[in-house]
Structure 1
Amino acid sequence: MAAAAAAVLRSGSRAAGRLICVCHTRSYSSVRLLKSKYVYAFDKSAFFNHQHRLFRTSAVSDGQIVQFKLSDIGEGITEVTVKEWYVKEGDSVSQFDSICEVQSDKASVTITSRYDGIIRKLYYNLDEIAYVGKPLVDIETDVLKDVAPEEDVVETPAVSHEEHTHQEIKGHKTLATPAVRRLAMENNIKLSEVVGTGKDNRILKEDILNYLAKQTGAILPPSPKSEIIPPLPKLETAPTTPKDKAHTIPVPISKPIVFTGKDKIEPITGFHKAMVKTMSAALKIPHFGYCDEIELNQLVQLREELKPLAQARGVKLSFMPFFIKAASLALLHYPVLNTSVDENCQNITYKASHNIGIAMDTEQGLIVPNVKSVQVRSVFEIASELNRLQSLGSSGQLGTNDLTGGTFTLSNIGTIGGTYAKPVILPPEVAIGALGKMQVLPRFNRKGEVFKAQIMNVSWSADHRIIDGATMARFSNLWKSYLENPASMLLDLK
């Protein structure tokens, strides 16, 4: 075949000819061997003008390109937002290696590889929408292995906000967050060449920037200012005589204000998109409101006594575990508040478990994870679970199971401020409570004496199609009695 090609090259006077097209090539020094696979006709002029294209070689692997598609991640989710790529084109991956992190309107999940091979194409950029069933990446692999579809998606493990990713490089572990690894990848920096200044030699973002500055000789720019203060307008006074000089009022010269900022349009995605759907459905429910105040002096004293014991066991004890447990004990007496109704309000379901949700304000938006089966948990166990949920929520790592299945919700708006609120029910639930800030206020005891009281306000909202005002008030009074006299909870604890 090589001789046939050479013959065609020598016959430059022919008007047209046939050339064996290069499909696979191997290079030995300056000699290239040709394998025939396809035959193409060519024009003589085109041949002499573009013959370098016909004989240009590239490294082609014998592997097969596989389109790795985004599998169904459940809960009726059809689209996700790509938040983090852990690989780039040309990287080698093995089975179960992390490929990317995506965020649905319910949770963040990590996508893992089903194949051993090389990443050939990424179908999405960061913050773009990826669709279930559509290609996510192209992987070149030698052997296609049978792996169950459900292995495509692995929920983000329960890790603390401080835990970082370890990367094995040249026989030792390099510690860096995914964001730092991405910064290094974008600038073609090997992490093994960067000296980490963080704890346990962890590589920080500043280490990458300093490394770049040393390589390029650049001077790192200072942090941008949050606002620009315009110069004060010049004051100009009219000429005056010595007599009325003391009564002169300076008149500023007005100048046109120039502002060069532009409006920015962003799509509503992730948790914000979920909030749009949920709140639109919630406001179709006829809400009934009820408010009260609770005196928490005894609870404050009890928490101060138990706080060191909880810390010794590695758990931060706040007031919220007591609020949650008291709500669960009250729900045992008023189970209608722990129910759900169908869309047409034709059927009501009494929930066996008390999965009490806690509204959290995070960088990703409002999320409501829930503590499962509160009715069989102790106050300490609730506190431990809250610590886990808060840690994952602050780092955006909550799983789908943490964010679904709630039956009753409390919103602690008092951590930000305010005494009363008007909480909105999360369908298909039928009730929600908003807790105000705790404050010291003067109150009268039974003897008419003024004393300092730790007061917290609560605002309840209930589905008025299912719950009447008297039921909501009785539930609130029972919940209040547990908190004002926390020792009374011992009678109902199981």
Structure 2
Amino acid sequence: MPVKEFKLPDVGEGVAEGELVTWLVAPGDRVEEDQAVAEVETDKALVEVPSRYDGTVEELFVEEGEIVPVGDVIISFRVGEDGDGGGTEGEATGEPTGDSDAGATESATGASAEAESEADAEEPATPSGRTFAPPSARRLARELGVDIAAVDGSGPGGRISEADVRAHAEDDGDSDDGPSVKSASDAPDPKPAPTPTDSGSSGRKSAVKKRGGSGAGSGSEAAATASTGAAAPGPAGRETTLATPATRKVARELGVDIDDVPTDETRDGEAFVTGEDVRAYAEAPESAGEAAEASADASAPEPKSVDVSTSADAAGATGASPASESVSTDETVPYRGVRRTIGKQMERSKYTAPHVTHHDTVAVDALVEAREELKPRAEEQGVNLTYMPFVMKAIVAGLKEYPSLNSELREDEEEIVLKGDYNLGIAVATDAGLMVPVVENVDEKGLFELAEEVRDLASRARERELKPAEMKGGTFSITNFGAIGGEYATPIINYPETAILGLGAIEERPVARDGEVVAAPTLPLSLSIDHRVIDGAVAAEFANTVMEHLEHPLLLLTH
């Protein structure tokens, strides 16, 4: 079969690179044209990359978490010219799909009718449509002889987890139609299918896990070591190790050097490590230590009571410290995806544009009353009217009067571009980080229309459903830290824009009126500007214009 290489396409508006966050397929998987094969993070958006081919995944060239330039090869497929779509996963990879004995003895020229019928009976039918599962779940499915496409996913969008695969395998094991598969609690050391012969693999490098008696022994030996309290196996210290991207990710998360992980499995003469090998190596020392402690406790007589002071004295006499036995509670979180994108953008902005922040507070009695009067009318149209549309309109009024705040500095061309459009970015806090969807042509839209569009964009931002184009083209940004109770801040400009306005919480605060101090609803404002383009006096005048329109909301009708 011919091998087709697939390059990372332009998944945004002319982006130069993206981070491959998650592989949705693994080597040996069957894919169809337009099926998603990977998730790529670019410019604060998570997008799925679809396949251009019908075929079988041959090799993954990029590891999860790696930054990939657009146009680089990320994956290859084996594409058959005739009848490629009709083969099963096992036929494409050379692995047995039904009875292990029949699959291992089947030759290249064909097998007996009895073995073929048995294999066909035991292989579940593959339902149509896409199958979303991480490489670890797909690998486990192959090890347990489960058709990944037949598994019901419990994750978002039907995504399949390792637990789903095990549950499906256990259900099949309870029936008489397929091989008996026990859960991990019932059988901690299941025997995997035997390694196929060289003729069965067609002489190519297989990316499907193949474990024979010695390979299975590595897992059982680890369990035996833990149960007896013997020492864990030492590091292998190899110079070269073959492993899938998912396995390398597991090694990184567990802080394990993959070249040190013992394994009896090889591919093309090189050591091949699986995720189970990595986990066993990482857990072996701790398990052995726990087993030794348990054995010692079992052999020692149980004391009737414990004197805390005596225990402390004994610890001091032996030189042991209770603190030295405590386990670190530090947690390591990967710095990648949206968080790294935000970090790079903020770093570029902060160290490129000299920031100055102007603070002020505006009394908004009339604004509060205007919103209360309009809320019933908005609710009749199914709109939740917030203060944001009023602020957006007031900002547009200020930008029209002071266009330097609606600009971009192009240093290479040595020019300042005063934008003719009024596209306002609204910062939205999500579980994945800060998203800034853009509301275009704010000057041409009414309050209700703006309220509905902001709600829709914010909702889809939290669900990670925004398109890259919906976070492009902003000319000025707004961040509402007052939503969580803040008052003033120093927001960082969304470069290459030149200004951003931060909104505090609208609360009653002391206000001086006619010589008396009264309580009135006020809105704190924090305006950050790029001092290379905007002078402090201009920033203050812009803020005054915005505040004037918020103090007298009827002025918004003139824009």
TM bracket (short chain): 0.5 to 0.7
Q: Output the CA distance in 1 between the equivalents of 2:323 and 2:331.
A: 21
**Of 364-373 and 432-441, the range deviating more from structure 2:** 364-373
Q: Output the CA distance in 1 between the equivalents of 2:151 and 2:33.
A: 28
- Residue in 2 aligned with 1:185? 138
- Trace 1:322-341 onto structure 2 (pairs within 5 A): 322-341=390-409
- Residue in 1 aligned with 2:22? 84
* Corresponding letter in the other structure for 2:355: H
Matching residue within 502, 513, 522 for 1:455: 522
Deviation at 1:386, TM superposition (A): 1.6
CA deviation vs aligned residue, 1:391-431 (integer Å, no higher than 9, x gap)? 23213333222222211111111123321111222332221
- Residue in 1 aligned with 2:59? 121
Q: Output the CA distance in 2 between the equivalents of 1:332 and 1:432.
A: 15
Q: Using a 3 Å threshold, how does the CA distance of structure 1 residues 172 and 103 change in structure 2: closer, same or farther?
A: closer
- Residue in 1 aligned with 2:536? 469
Q: Using a 3 Å threshold, how does the CA distance of structure 1 residues 291 and 265 change in structure 2: closer, same or farther?
A: closer
Q: Output the CA distance in 1 between the equivalents of 2:307 and 2:428.
A: 45
CA deviation vs aligned residue, 1:182-240 (integer Å, no higher than 9, x gap)? 775354255776678899x97886866755676634569xxxxxxxxxxx993579xxx
- Residue in 1 aligned with 2:422? 354
Query: What TM-score comes out, normalization by structure 1 length?
Result: 0.65
Q: Output the CA distance in 1 between the equivalents of 2:32 and 2:515.
A: 75
Contact persistence 1:337–1:431 (CA under 8 A): yes
- Residue in 1 aligned with 2:369? 301
Contact persistence 1:184–1:190 (CA under 8 A): no
Contact persistence 1:368–1:403 (CA under 8 A): yes
Q: Output the CA distance in 2 between the equivalents of 1:89 and 1:395.
A: 30
- Trace 1:84-483 onto structure 2 (pairs within 5 A): 84-142=22-80, 178=132, 185-188=138-141, 211=168, 216-218=182-184, 234=308, 255-261=322-328, 264=332, 266=334, 268-343=336-411, 346-446=414-514, 448=516, 450=518, 452-483=519-550
CA deviation vs aligned residue, 1:41-78 (integer Å, no higher than 9, x gap)? xxxxxxxxxxxxxxxxxxxxxx3211111134465644
Task: Provide the identity percentage.
Answer: 32
Contact persistence 1:357–1:406 (CA under 8 A): yes
Higher helix share: 2
CA deviation vs aligned residue, 1:110-129 (integer Å, no higher than 9, x gap)? 21222232323333343333
Q: Output the CA distance in 2 between the equivalents of 1:317 and 1:491.
A: 20
Contact persistence 2:46–2:464 (CA under 8 A): yes
Aligned-partner SS, 1:467 = coil
2:443 paired with 1:490? no
Q: Output the CA distance in 1 between the equivalents of 2:307 and 2:483.
A: 42
* Corresponding letter in the other structure for 1:185: R
Higher strand share: 1
Q: Using a 3 Å threshold, how does the CA distance of structure 1 residues 472 and 93 change in structure 2: closer, same or farther?
A: same
**Of 392-401 and 277-286, the range deviating more from structure 2:** 277-286
**Of 400-409 and 282-291, the range deviating more from structure 2:** 282-291
* Corresponding letter in the other structure for 2:526: S
Query: Once superposed, what is the RMSD of the aligned Cα atoms?
Result: 3.9
Q: Using a 3 Å threshold, how does the CA distance of structure 1 residues 364 and 197 change in structure 2: closer, same or farther?
A: closer
Q: Could you tell me which runs of 5 or more consecutive residues in structure 1 were left unpaired when the two chains were aligned.
A: 1-62, 145-168, 221-231, 238-252
Query: What TM-score comes out, normalization by structure 2 length?
Result: 0.58
* Corresponding letter in the other structure for 1:346: E
Instruction: Please say which structure displays the higher CA radius of gyration.
Output: 1
Q: Output the CA distance in 2 between the equivalents of 1:444 and 1:265.
A: 49
**Of 332-341 and 468-477, the range deviating more from structure 2:** 468-477
- Residue in 2 aligned with 1:151? none
Q: Using a 3 Å threshold, how does the CA distance of structure 1 residues 310 and 173 change in structure 2: closer, same or farther?
A: farther
